[in-house]
Structure 1
């Protein structure tokens, strides 16, 4: 099965709508100027306009910036974190440590130790007991108000510093992930730029093709009109019949209809090119290659390529490789949840009222330093299953990368084959073109000498038309296949500066 390319489907679909009778000679292409006015733009200019105005490309540029910010965010996890927390509390009641006034017995030193000084019964000499309790001679009076504190308005705050020491490797893995994510965003941006260039090239060469075919259609109408006048003159001289003139008129009317169709198709193609370039669809400009009559390729087409070099140049494969790297680091993040975590903490806390030097209604605080250790012990296999899921994702990404490389091998082989085929076809059509020109010249000469019929001339004109149209198709096909091959090889050249 012959390989197909997306731009060829689009191009041939429109070609079928225009029909075979719309194509023209390369000589006529030089003789007539494009009907569109305005500024002359080149293919590189169209590419630059498309990349500057494409919204999807601008979105990808913002994604690169966002990935850069996330990379800086991840790096901040290496550094100590300083936080402040504060608050205010209103309490409706004071704090009373004592429920009532207190009388505390006093102890005296008797030379051997401290004993309570109790009231004795004069009759017995024993301690006097009231309600089952001995009665002290002296007591210390502690009023309730002395142990009451005003806690209606409480202000408090703390400044903390946390320095991670070991987080199971999660911080290192997250920094690598964000670094890979930034590179991934750049690769996707580059791949998007190549897709835009390919779309611009397809639209650009479509306009060039239809413009050439419009000129060809005009030339074909002019040939038929000349033949119509010659046949009419022959009828006036009695050497031709009305049937010959009607046959020419049918061809002439059909050619005029086809000219209208190709003119409409060219207008639509110009609108499509303007839209791809990000311009208003009614923008009028002339393409630099509208008078091009020769196909060229950017580089020699090889039969085999060093696929490792191709892999290294392809931004889409680079994106998949980064996806594998990201999946590997995500596996390490999952592993970190099963490892101990150590951090150092320092803090300065303060409050008003404070209890650092009695009860004082003013701000005061103190420093504190410590360390925290967190060791996962048992989570019913949750963390381990999370690790295994991340490992499976890494395997999936590796398989996707391998499959993509196989597809790139096929894509490069098909693109190279199609480019070679396009070049061979172009060479053959160029040869046929010279023969068709000579055949038409011979038929016209024979018709003037009276040794050829009108049908012979129209057959020669049809062959001439077909040869020129095939040559136009082959020329455009060479340019499109060359662009597609460059894209497949990762060597598509364009000027565009990635956002920083």
Structure 2
């Protein structure tokens, strides 16, 4: 992946991470009632007991998205090494073969060249020319050129060269000296890209941990509600038996018995739904842990969290500078900002001179280094190449200005993300405090519902309450228990999500 292209992906991934909420992650543990009770019963056989930490570790080890992020970190590391290689000299080889239809001939026909002889009188070489034997004048041809008396014959074939098959090649060594700062900027850019990818990988790990926590506590919650549903069915079954006895004794009506039986049937339907929910929630947890979906997982926690009296209070104020430093998504955006600055330097380098040293060894067959010979021969050459941009109609300058604008956009995105994180922290802390308050109230309601049910059963036995009033007390008891379970789970998930928002979630 090109390091410049990576910046846009980093920004997109970090933005998605910032907008992820607890509701988004909790949606992974939303279930529907599509399985039968028999399937739920079969899932209990040979269940594997796993703690929350075990589920987290297994999910982090097997999660496909996390493995993809790890590979992206590895790829970013390779890109960083690729950018560093630009500092070092590059060695290249280029070679080729060419077939030519014709030979090369310097002359189009045989050549007759005049020759000279040494003249003692003039003490120099003079052309041998045809002279009139009487007058001694040089005889000239029709074109006015003197006619030589002696010539040297150069046949046309002597100056023909066989170039039908030509082999050539070169080994080139290039050492960059100054490339306008592009190499240094690309090295820093790829370094920031690798660090940003690591931050995104860590952020993905936190998302996985939170999703596992939500699925794990969902199973615990449904297990607790399953026990409540079983107890509720048992209470109604006992009430049906008592009302049946009263009907035989004539102190109850058939309508009383039917109303209890209708309530009992509804409770059995609810129990079936809870059983199905347990099976489906186990599937979701197994999938997050990287196990086959039919693996029966039994949470090691039988109760959904600690008592409200043992829970630590939620802080009302946080050091946001520390939060910003711990948030992996903000770190990724911070590295993207730094990479954007380097990207503008890369654009600036296109307007600066480039200087490089070049050394080469070229060879060919045939060669002309010592006459025409059909064999390999070559030579060394050393030089320098300087490129100075002069005029490109503002193209390079506008490219630089666009890169500067993009860098400013990333800074603004980082500032906006910090404001969003500030809002997340405040909302998460508020929700955690409210969840704790709700847990305290539901625990108080549990004690009152238990006492209300006990009093109702005693009054029913004494004939002071009707079956409908007893069922109302039982329904209130079930509702109080269910709300207490939901409040306990909400406390656990709010605490985990708050840790995630604060950047302190261990993974």
1:86 equivalenced with 2:95 (yes/no): yes
Name the SS for the 1:136 alignment partner.
Answer: coil
Structure 1 residue 201: Cα displacement: 1.3
Q: Distance in 1 between matches of 2:187 and 2:415?
A: 26
Given that 1:11 and 1:206 are in contact with CA atoms closer than 8 Å, whether structure 2 keeps it comes out as no
Equivalent residue number for residue 453 of structure 2: 440
Asked if 1 retains the 8 angstrom alpha-carbon contact of 2:221 and 2:304, the reply is no
Q: 1:230 aligns with which of 236, 242, 248?
A: 242
1:497 maps to what in 2?
none
**Are 1:491 and 2:500 matched, yes or no?**
no
With structure 1 as the length reference, what TM-score do the two structures score? 0.89
Task: State whether structure 2 residue 67 is matched by structure 1 residue 50.
Answer: no
* Stretch moving more, 70-79 or 443-452: 443-452
- Residue in structure 1 matched with residue 366 of structure 2 by the alignment: 353
Q: d(CA) in 2 for partners of 1:10 and 1:104?
A: 99
Equivalent residue runs for 1:111-150 within 5 Å: 111=122, 113-131=124-142, 132-150=144-162
3-state SS, counterpart of residue 134 of structure 1: coil
Q: For the residues of structure 1 that align with 2:353 and 2:114, how far apart are their CA atoms?
A: 55
- 1:253-303 alpha-carbon deviations (Å, 9 max, x no partner): 221121112222222222222222222222112111134463589965210
Distance 1:8 1:322 in 2: 26
The residue that corresponds to 1:160 in the other structure is 172
Once the two structures are superposed, residues 145-167 of structure 1 have per-residue CA deviations (whole angstroms, 9 ceiling, x without a partner) of: 33222222222211110111111
Judge conservation of contact 1:7–1:202 (CA < 8 Å) in 2: no
Q: What are the Cα deviations for residues 429-467 of structure 1, in whole angstroms up to 9, with x where unaligned?
A: 111111211222222222223333333322222222221
Q: Is the 8 A contact 2:304 2:485 kept in 1?
A: no
Q: How does 1:316-395 map to 2 (within 5 A)?
A: 316-395=329-408
Alpha-carbon spacing, 1:298–1:388, altered in 2? closer, same or farther (3 Å): farther
What is aligned with 1:102? Answer: 111
Shift in alpha-carbon separation, 1:206–1:115, aligned structure 2, 3 A: same
Change (3 A) 1:292 1:477: closer
2:456–2:465 Cα contact (<8 Å) kept: yes
The Cα RMSD (Å) is 2.4
Match of 2:10 in 1: none
- Contact between 1:295 and 1:478, CA under 8 Å: does it hold in 2? no
- Deviation at 1:474? 0.6
Unaligned runs of 5+ in 1: 19-33, 495-500
Distance 2:137 2:339 in 1: 89
Match of 2:74 in 1: 65
> SS in structure 2 opposite 1:133?
coil
Greater mean deviation of Cα atoms: 110-119 or 65-74: 110-119
TM normalised by structure 2 equals 0.88
